[in-house]
Structures are given as structure tokens and as C-alpha cells.
């Protein structure tokens, strides 16, 4: 057994968040410009070291988001992704230029599977691209990260040559991803040890882990990588990402906190913001968090069986290795009513992790009063839904003004008034169910070709007067936009969520084209 390491002596692991880049690559996940800016603020407040804000060459929308995040974030490093192509690297450099601390993250695949079938390049050609891409990136930015995509399936000797070349060309961080989620923890740790041992200048770079969760091992592999010498971990809130996702940020951070004594490592992330970040990402992507998800699941701190409850009442340490409040999960309690004042409201939001500006606070307070009029008990979760709903709203070219729905055994119809660019327009429609009728009415007022890809309703709290939080995902020409809204009336929430998704879709159309294939290299 290794000797316990005191808190002061623990080495720091750099937390690199890729929720907005790899996370957004989750099938169906998509975040609007405003949502990304808001998420960047949350991540910075949490103390995340590096925020990978997007893939600037992928679309104008991605470029604009990375640039805007570079303008507002001052504490964290803002990073953009670029393939080993001049056009990617130049675009990325332009996007991160305003950042106080900017990073270009460039990558190329190194494994035989990717070299032969995707790149159709020999080992020497890949090596040449590594040198050229890192050199180009270093001429544009001091902080360059290089990734060997599919590192875990790469021939070790070739991997050493690539890493050596990248470090000599000026990469400060070397990321060795388990792109296909294939590794076992011991193998992944050994890969880091071997690379560090076999590359002469390995001490000139920080090594980084980036794990996918195809075998459910992403977090275990990331921790093993740290034990093998990695000092940066790439992860995403709620573990979202390509296929089965990335290592979950909240799990990595809490593993370092709870087992820091054994591991000898910690991070600078303040876990108290974790629950808020998780809820926000879930709301904007429309990806629910599974009830039993570690750290942020609804049941993560719930004790059901009599034996467990008895133990908890005697001493929480019997069944709890961390406290819910450590990760910002306050016990959901009765908080505010319609007589609560503005000051108490602001303090409550602060306790929940929101520090709103005066205008946003005033607006939220009005909405809180409206909610308190409709709903007897206003819980923390209600307030979180209310504020997240407002933060996620973004552009409001289209707004719901009035909705009346007739439902029941005799058929369903909706009477709807929308404000479109400040002009009120009305429609009446029927449908197969009340939600269908509402959506048909929206379609009549705002004709569009987008297909509905997700419609999801979730009750924010318990009870029949609970607010419904609705997520809607639309897709048009490969562009995906998600909208969400909360309301005590499920149909109003549905209409607002659909309209929110349409607004996001339209603002995406204005801001950028969808992905373009870039064939050119050096």
C-alpha cells in the first residue's frame, strides 16, 4: 500500500474540458452560440484549466463561438481544434487570437487502421505532416497541443517517433487518445510510461489522456494514465462525446478529490459547480442524465434501503464517500414563495451557483414571481430550470404570445399567436394529440423544412404542479438545433421549446454554414 499523500503535496492534474468540441460531436448534440458562451463562463468559474471551445474550420458558427469565448474567458486557456492542414491551423489561430491564453490543438491519426483506410498515408508521410502542422501552429501560437489520434492502436515505435517529432517541432502538450475506447487501464498506463521512457525529450512536454467510453472504461483509463505519467486529462461534462462519450469531467474531478490521498494528485476545479454544469449541459443538449449516473445522477446520493437509511442517520460516512453539497447538490428543499423578496432571491441563486447581472436578475425575478403565483412550492430545481431556461433562450426572433389548446376524447386543436420579428401572427391547427396540434400551428405560422428529431418532457420536481422541462431537437440540411423551455403548462413549455429550437436553427443559418469537407493539406 502506498503512503497517503497530504493535500499540500498533491500534484496538479490539468483539467481540459471538451464538452463543446468532442461533446458536441455526440450524435444529436448541438449547442447554440449563446449556450456555448454561457457554458464557457460556467467552466471558467469552475476552474477548468483548458476549455476546448470548438473546431473553427468546421463551420462559421464554430469559428464565431471559439472567437467569442476567446474574448470573454480570461482565466482558462481557450483551445481550438485543427487537423494537420494549413487551412485548419490558420483558421484556428484566427479564432483564438483574442484569447488571453490561447491554444491550438492539432491532430493526425497515427494507427495503421487510420493511416491505411482514412488518410491513405505512409508512416513517413504522417511523420512529415506532424512536423509541418506543429511547426505551422507554433509559428502562430506559443501553446500548441498535438494529438496522435488512435494512439492506443498505433505501433509503439512509430508512436515514439511521432511524439519525438511533435515535441521537437514545439508541441508543449502531447495527447495520446484512446480514440476507440479499446484500452484497459493497465495497458493505457503502460503506454504513457513507455512513451515517456522512449522519447528523449519527453520531459519538455505535458502528457495528456483522452479516453472514449466504448467499454465503459474512460474514467478508469484516464486515472490510470495519470498514474502512468499524464498530467492533463481531457473530459466532458456528463461524459458526452462521440459514440459512448468521453471520460466524465465530474467523475475525474471527484476521483481526484476523494482518492487524492492515494493517488497523490488533485485538480483546481471547484466541484461545487459540478451539478449546475451538469444540469445546464443536459438542458441545452437535450441529453438526460441517467438516474444512477455517478456524481450527478438524481439517485447518486439517494439511500433507499432501510439498512442504508439507518446507517446514514447514524453517520453519513457509513454509506457516503462524499457529500452531495461537495458537488453542489443541496438537499432539494422548500425554498421560496411568492412573498420572498429580491434580495433573498439573489442570495438563493448565488447559493445555487448563479451570479446574474442586474438585468438578468430582474428578468429572472419577474419569472420567479409568475411561477410562485402558479405553483405553491418553489424548489431549488424549479429555480434552476427557470434560470437555465432564460440563459438558454438566446435569439428571440420568434416568441410565443398566446396559446390555447383543446384536448380530450373529441380531438385536439391549438390556437396560437406568435410574434415573428415583432409582428403578431395567428394560426389554428389540429393534430394527432395536443403537442402535434401545437407544432402544426407553429409550422403554419413559420413554414420550415426542419425535421423533429427529439421531443422530450421531464418533470423538474415531484407533484402534479411540477414544471415541465421540454427539449426539442430539429434538423435541417445536416444542421442540428436544440431548444428547451420550462413551464407549469406542458403544452406551453412544448411550444416555447420548439420556438427556441427554431430561433437557434435560424441564427445558426445566419452565423454559419454546415461542415465542409476540407481536402487540402500542406
Contact positions vs Zn ion (CB under 5 A): 22
Closest CB 381 distance from ligand KIV, rounded Å: 33
- The residues, any chain, with a CB within 8 Å of residue 233's CB and separated by 6 or more, are 13, 14, 15, 16, 208, 209, 222, 225, 226, 247, 252
Strands 11-12 and 50-54: unpaired
Residues forming a β-bridge with 320: none
From Zn ion, ligand KIV, none, interface partner of 107 (C-beta below 5 to 8 A by class): ligand KIV
Q: Is 210 in the site for ligand KIV (CB under 6 A)?
A: yes
Query: Which is closer to ligand KIV, CB of 247 or CB of 364?
Result: 247
- Residue 4: all three cell numbers together: 497517503
CB of residue 44 vs ligand KIV: minimum separation in angstroms?
22
Candidates 32, 149, 267, 471: give the one binding ligand KIV (CB under 6 A). Answer: 149
Residues 96-125 that bind ligand KIV (CB under 6 A): 107
Cβ-based nearer residue to ligand KIV, 109 or 202: 109
Please list every residue from 4 through 43 that binds ligand KIV, using CB under 6 A.
Answer: 22
Helix (H, G, I), strand (E, B) or coil at 340: coil
Q: Which is nearer to ligand KIV, 24 or 475 (CB)?
A: 24
Query: Is the distance from CB of 515 to CB of 30 less than 8 angstroms?
Result: no
For ligand KIV, the binding residue among 26, 30, 111, 147 (CB under 6 A) is 147
Distances (CA, A) of 210 to 31, 54, 71, 133, 487: 22, 16, 26, 20, 38
From the list 90, 95, 58, 64, the residue with the least C-alpha distance to 79 is 95
How many C-beta neighbours within 10 Å does residue 513 have? 14
Cell of 116: 491505411
CB of 120 to ligand KIV, least distance (A): 19
The b/e string for 116-138 (b: 16+ C-beta within 10 A; e otherwise) is eeebebebeebbebbbbbbbbbb
> At closest approach, how far in Å is the CB of 179 from Zn ion?
6
Stretch that binds ligand KIV, among 43-51, 175-183, 280-288, 414-422 (CB under 6 A): 175-183
- Among the candidate windows 95-103, 115-123, 171-179, 249-257, which touches ligand KIV by CB under 6 A? 171-179
Residue with Cβ nearer Zn ion (24 or 381): 24
Q: Would you state the cell numbers that stand for residue 166, as one nine-digit string?
A: 511533435
What count of Cα atoms within 13 Å lies in the side-chain half-sphere of residue 28?
A: 17
Question: How many Å apart are CA 110 and CA 151, to the nearest integer?
Answer: 6
Report the nearest approach of ligand KIV to the CB of residue 138 (Å): 18
* The dihedral sign for the CA sequence 429, 433, 434, 438: negative
Nearer to Zn ion, 211 or 470 (CB): 211
Residue among 458, 445, 449 at smallest CA distance from 497? 458
Site for ligand KIV (CB under 6 A): which residue of 23, 80, 177, 228? 177
Question: Could you give phi then psi for residue 250, rounded to 5 degrees?
Answer: -65, -30
> Which residue lies nearer to ligand KIV by CB, 150 or 382?
150
Does position 490 interact with ligand KIV (CB under 6 A)? The reply is: no
Residue 43 CB, nearest distance to ligand KIV (Å)? 18
Shortest reach from residue 100's CB to Zn ion, in Å: 26
Q: What are phi and psi of 230, to 5 degrees?
A: -70, 145
Supply the minimum distance, in Å, between the C-beta of residue 454 and ligand KIV. 24
Stretch that binds ligand KIV, among 7-15, 174-182, 213-221, 495-503 (CB under 6 A): 174-182
Can you give the binding site for ligand KIV, defined by CB under 6 A? 22, 107, 147, 149, 175, 177, 179, 210, 212
Amino acid at each position: 500500500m502506498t503512503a497517503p499523500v497530504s493535500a499540500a503535496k498533491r500534484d496538479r492534474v490539468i483539467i481540459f474540458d471538451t464538452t463543446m468540441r468532442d461533446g458536441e460531436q455526440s450524435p444529436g448534440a448541438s449547442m447554440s452560440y449563446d449556450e456555448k458562451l454561457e457554458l464557457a463562463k460556467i467552466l471558467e468559474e469552475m476552474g477548468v484549466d483548458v476549455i476546448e471551445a470548438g473546431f473553427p474550420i468546421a463551420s462559421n458558427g464554430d469559428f464565431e463561438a471559439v472567437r467569442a469565448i476567446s474574448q470573454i474567458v480570461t482565466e482558462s486557456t481557450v483551445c481550438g481544434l485543427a487537423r494537420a492542414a494549413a487551412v485548419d491551423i490558420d483558421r484556428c489561430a484566427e479564432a483564438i487570437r483574442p484569447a488571453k491564453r490561447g491554444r491550438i490543438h492539432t491532430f493526425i491519426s497515427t494507427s495503421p487502421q487510420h493511416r491505411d483506410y482514412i488518410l491513405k498515408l505512409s508512416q513517413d508521410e504522417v511523420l512529415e505532416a506532424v512536423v509541418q502542422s506543429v511547426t505551422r501552429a507554433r509559428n502562430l501560437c506559443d501553446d500548441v497541443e498535438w494529438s496522435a489520434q488512435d494512439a492506443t492502436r498505433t505501433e509503439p515505435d512509430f508512436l515514439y517517433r511521432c511524439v519525438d517529432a511533435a515535441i521537437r517541432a514545439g508541441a508543449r502538450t502531447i495527447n495520446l487518445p484512446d480514440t476507440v475506447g479499446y484500452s484497459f487501464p493497465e495497458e493505457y498506463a503502460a503506454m504513457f510510461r513507455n512513451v515517456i521512457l522512449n522519447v528523449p525529450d519527453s520531459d519538455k512536454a505535458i502528457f495528456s489522456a483522452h479516453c472514449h467510453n466504448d467499454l465503459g472504461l474512460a474514467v478508469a483509463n484516464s486515472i490510470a494514465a495519470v498514474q502512468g505519467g499524464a498530467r492533463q486529462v481531457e473530459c466532458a461534462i456528463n461524459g458526452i462525446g462521440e459514440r459512448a462519450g468521453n471520460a466524465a469531467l465530474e467523475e475525474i474531478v471527484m476521483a481526484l478529490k476523494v482518492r487524492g490521498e492515494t493517488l497523490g494528485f488533485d485538480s483546481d476545479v471547484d466541484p461545487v459547480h459540478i451539478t449546475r454544469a451538469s444540469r445546464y449541459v443536459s438542458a441545452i443538449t437535450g441529453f438526460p442524465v441517467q438516474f444512477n449516473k455517478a456524481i450527478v445522477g438524481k439517485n447518486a446520493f439517494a439511500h433507499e434501503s432501510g439498512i442504508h437509511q439507518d446507517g446514514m442517520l447514524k453517520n453519513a460516512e457509513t454509506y457516503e464517500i462524499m457529500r452531495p453539497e461537495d458537488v453542489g447538490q443541496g438537499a432539494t428543499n422548500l425554498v421560496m414563495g411568492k412573498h420572498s423578496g429580491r434580495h433573498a432571491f439573489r442570495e438563493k441563486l448565488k447559493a445555487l451557483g448563479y451570479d446574474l447581472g442586474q438585468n438578468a436578475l430582474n428578468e429572472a425575478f419577474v419569472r420567479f414571481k409568475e411561477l410562485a403565483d402558479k405553483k405553491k412550492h418553489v424548489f431549488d430545481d424549479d429555480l434552476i430550470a427557470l434560470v437555465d431556461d432564460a440563459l438558454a433562450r438566446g435569439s428571440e426572433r420568434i416568441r410565443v404570445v398566446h396559446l390555447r389548446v383543446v384536448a380530450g376524447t373529441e380531438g385536439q386543436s391549438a390556437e396560437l399567436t406568435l410574434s415573428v420579428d415583432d409582428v403578431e401572427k395567428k394560426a389554428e391547427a389540429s393534430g394527432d394529440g395536443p403537442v402535434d396540434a401545437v407544432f402544426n400551428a407553429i409550422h403554419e405560422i413559420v413554414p420550415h423544412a426542419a425535421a423533429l428529431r427529439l421531443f422530450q418532457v421531464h418533470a423538474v420536481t415531484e407533484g402534479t404542479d411540477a414544471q415541465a422541462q421540454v427539449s426539442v431537437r430539429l434538423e435541417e440540411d445536416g444542421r442540428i438545433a436544440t431548444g428547451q423551455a420550462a413551464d407549469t403548462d406542458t403544452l406551453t413549455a412544448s411550444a416555447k421549446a420548439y420556438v427556441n429550437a427554431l430561433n437557434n436553427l435560424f441564427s445558426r443559418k445566419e452565423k454559419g454554414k454546415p461542415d465542409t469537407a476540407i481536402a487540402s493539406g500542406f
